Amino acid sequence: MSRLIVVSNRTPGRGPAAGGLAVALRKTLAARDGFWFGWSGKLSDTPSEEAHFDDIDGLTIAQIDLTREDHHAYYAGFSNSILWPSFHLRLDLATIEGHWYEGYRAVNRQFARALLPLLQPDDIIWVHDYHLIPLANELRNLGARNRIGFYLHIPFPTTDALYAIPHHNELMRDLSRYDVVGMQANRDVTAFTEFADHQSPSSLSGNPLRSVDFTRTETAAFPIGSDPDAFARLAVTPAATKMVKRVERSLRDQKLILGVDRLDYSKGLPQRIEAYEKLLANDTRFRRAVHMMQVAPPSRDTIKEYQETSDTLDAICGRVMGRFSEPDWQPLTYVKRAYGQPSLAGLYRLARVGLVTPLRDGMNLVAHEFVASQDPANPGVLILSRFAGAAEIFPEAIQVNPFDTDETAEALRMALDMPLDERIARWTALMEASRRHSVDNWAASFLARLSPDTSGGVGVNRDMLYLASTA
């Protein structure tokens, strides 16, 4: 079997892997030869030309250091102040500083130069996420002829939002240098196809008035998942149970409504707290009978828009606490720190309602993990944003428009009042879908398309576009 080289901005660290991507790929890579390549997390005065290898919990990791200046332009700048907000349709929160593109390009070139000498001709390369869109092009410019795939973990933007991104034509040309481009949801493939079919190239970009040729790139939806059976086991371990007991004691008989998200403006956190506020305001029987817990570890906090989101959330949580708290009852716990997976699994299991209401999201693995952690005999209810990729595979969740806080408040009421037989019926269907879309199936289906022996030649295969996600 060909070696697999996984490339991403962050690489997995020691101990339990934190991010969804790390969790997802650790297992795949552990099962075959190859290594994980990415940024070391270190900043240096000069960019490293060679990668240094490390063994982290049995995984071979090759890493390079970046300069502070390049890292700022590449990560906080182009990736997270331009691509992230634009791909999430938040152009109002984008900071369009076109010069960051130079740093973004320079880091991708540095990745390519350091990776190329490590490659063997048969290696297949799997590049992850929006930080590294140009990587295949940079590798091909240096002579790499390997099969290279790209997976986008965030939503693909509408054509208008794409046009707002400086150098969008070059980025799309970069995407066309991949053999396979994988997206989270059919919605993303539709947006990509819309661009590919109706692109109107900008006369200001690098190659004026030339459309991008996508005929050599296969594009399909490969919805990512979790490891639901492992999560189900985790939720009843002593470490998870310790958290359950701790919170149960303070909850007494109140039903727990739980949200767990990185502190990011795409997650719809202020709207979510407002919906809870409406629930308490509209229906007094829920006061003292429910408790909401929002876990929101800070993220990308050097970026102004993230600091502002954090301030907004502080203010809204304070307002709800002040409005409804009694000397012996608080409506809300807001926890601004990260927890390990066992503790989270315990919290998910304890919750009567999992509130997963991003304004726009690639997939949202919290939805998967909440489902997997439930007690089959007494499961909680998933309330899910229709704008999360997960909405395509979880029709049995209560789906809401997260911008409509009245609708989310009503969904909360429905979830809290839902009888046991309906909870079990919905959860059974959700758990089946989560198993069908497990992370193992996700990785296997993407790699099956990327592997030279199973790829059916080149060319955009329109019939393929929807197959992966419905299989």
- Note if 33 is an active site residue: no
- Looking up tokens 């990729």 gives 389
Q: Going along 27-111, which residue ranges are E strands?
A: 34-44, 52-56, 59-67
Q: Which of 48, 202, 299, 461 binds ligand F6P (CB under 6 A)?
A: 299
Q: Check 88, 153, 167, 437 and give the catalytic one.
A: 153
Task: Tell me if 129 contacts ligand F6P by CB under 6 A.
Answer: yes
362 binds ligand F6P (CB under 6 A): yes
168 is catalytic: no
CB of 9 to ligand F6P, least distance (A): 6
Told to check if 153 binds ligand F6P by CB under 6 A, we report yes
Residues 6+ apart with CB under 8 A from 23: 17, 226, 227, 341, 365, 439
Neighbours of 14 (CB within 10 A): 8
Phi and psi torsions of 181, nearest 5°: -115, 120
Of 28, 1, 4, 31, the residue nearest 123 (C-alpha): 4
What binding mask, one character per residue, do residues 11-50 give for ligand F6P by CB under 6 A, x or -?
A: --------xxx-----------------------------
Question: CA-CA distance, 128 to 153, in Å (whole number)?
Answer: 7
Per rule CB under 6 A, count of chain residues that contact ligand F6P: 10
Q: Which of 123, 188, 264, 361 is catalytic?
A: 361
Find the binder of ligand F6P among 2, 5, 7, 10 (CB under 6 A). 10
Closest to ligand F6P by CB, 94 or 257: 94
Select 154 or 256, whichever has its Cβ closest to ligand F6P.
154
Q: Mask of contacts with ligand F6P, 253-292, x by CB under 6 A?
A: ----------------------------------------
φ, ψ for residue 111 (rounded to 5)? -55, -45
105 binds ligand F6P (CB under 6 A): no
Task: Report helix, strand or coil for 105.
Answer: helix
Q: How far apart are CA 185 and CA 468, in angstroms?
A: 10
Q: How many whole angstroms separate alpha carbon 76 and alpha carbon 254?
A: 41
Residue (of 202, 124, 107, 154) closest to 453 by Cα position: 124
SS3 41: strand
Residues classed as catalytic: 153, 361
The residues binding ligand F6P (CB under 6 A) are 10, 19-21, 129, 153-154, 299-300, 362
